[in-house]
Structure 1
Amino acid sequence: MKVLIVSDSHGMTTELAKLKEIHGSEVEYFVHCGDSELAPGETALKEFITVRGNCDFYEEFPEDIVKKIGGRTFFITHGHRYSVKSDLIKLSYRAKEAGADIACFGHSHYLGAEMVNGTLFINPGSIRLPRGRRERSYVILDIQENAYEIKVFDLDKGELPELRQVFSLSN
């Protein structure tokens, strides 16, 4: 089961459509972690599970979503309500409360993934205004029986194989 995760696209529509076109046949779910700055009915967001970011002004988007995907519980948020620019403590508490196996968030525009106390935290960076790297990044998470594989992509250059990560799940 593959899930494409993107965040902080800040008004981009053509690029979101491009992601669906490129990866639509291999990805079962599309997740947008907020700051799309698009209206809920926008065609570019169709098929995306989308949360509200601090730059999104449409209240139709929920602040957080808890959703079962591929047998795993996802906690999806933008991150601004959990101080993710400082650390992951508040987000990890909330993810634990939600029973999340995977927490997806954005807000900082910094690409990163790490396993903390059995929960995988993924920030796909930003396809509009990346920080810490030049690549306009998004990720594809492959949920396997005993592992999570994360592939990082640059909007312009495609996959960045040197950033691939595999997180083994212990029973």
Structure 2
Amino acid sequence: MSKVLVLSDSHGLTSELLHIKEKHKDDVNLFLHCGDSELPANDPALEGFSVVRGNCDYDEEFPEDSIQVVKDKKIMITHGHLYHVKSSLTRLSYRAQELEAKIVCFGHSHILGAEMVNGILFLNPGSIRLPRQRKEKTYCILEVIDDKIILNVYDINLGQITELSHEFIVSS
């Protein structure tokens, strides 16, 4: 089993990023930031995160997209603004299919959500600073167990929100 922590849209927060890393350092294998950190790439708060560039990030060291592999599953990480995710997942879905990604993590809308589209799990962890459509300041942890993905949602202040946990099946 591997655990992947996914967050996005922290918009300048540093102590919160450090807190999340410290809280989960012993049980998470991979830390992903889906952009709009508004921090320089060398900021200590981002150390240990695989980070992509959002529309509010100006450090060109961040890639627009990134691929990570966990348990033979390709994970595409992007912010989402270049794929117009606020209106549709279509462009992002096409790109994920081209890359043969099984999981896509993105942000930009600040809206927590997860759904399966054509056998691919699309995950937006919401925002730990400025959430939209709900009050919780969320991030997620994915447990990858063979073809099963268990999604656990956390509020930065309240901890795990168990009623939002969900299980997905993603084939290799």
- Normalising by the residue count of structure 1, what TM-score does the alignment of the two structures yield? 0.98
| C-alpha distance in structure 2 between counterparts of 1:55 and 1:170, whole Å | 34
Shift of 1:170: 5.4
What is the rounded CA distance, in whole Å, between the counterparts of 1:84 and 1:77 in structure 2?
10
Report the identity percentage.
54
Question: Could you tell me how far apart the structure 1 residues matched to 2:65 and 2:169 are?
Answer: 26
CA distance, structure 2, for counterparts of residue 155 and residue 85 of structure 1: 24
CA distance in 1, matches of 2:16, 2:115: 26
Q: Runs (4+) of structure 1 moved beyond 2 Å?
A: 168-171
1:144 Cα deviation after fit: 0.8
Q: Distance in 1 between matches of 2:71 and 2:133?
A: 31
Structure 1 residue ranges without an equivalent (≥5): none
Deviation at 1:63, TM superposition (A): 0.3
What residue in structure 1 maps to residue 130 of structure 2? 129
Find the aligned partners of 1:145 and 1:127 in 2 and give their Cα distance: 29
In structure 2, the partner of 1:50 is 51
Aligned to 1:102: 103
Aligned length: 171
The equivalent of 2:5 in structure 1 is: 4
1:78 CA displacement? 0.1
TM (norm. structure 2) is: 0.97
Q: Structure 1 residues 118, 86: closer, same or farther in 2, change over 3 A?
A: same
1:134-169: CA deviation from partner (whole Å, max 9, x where unpaired) = 000000000011310000000010000000000124
Matches of 1:81 and 1:168, distance apart in 2: 27
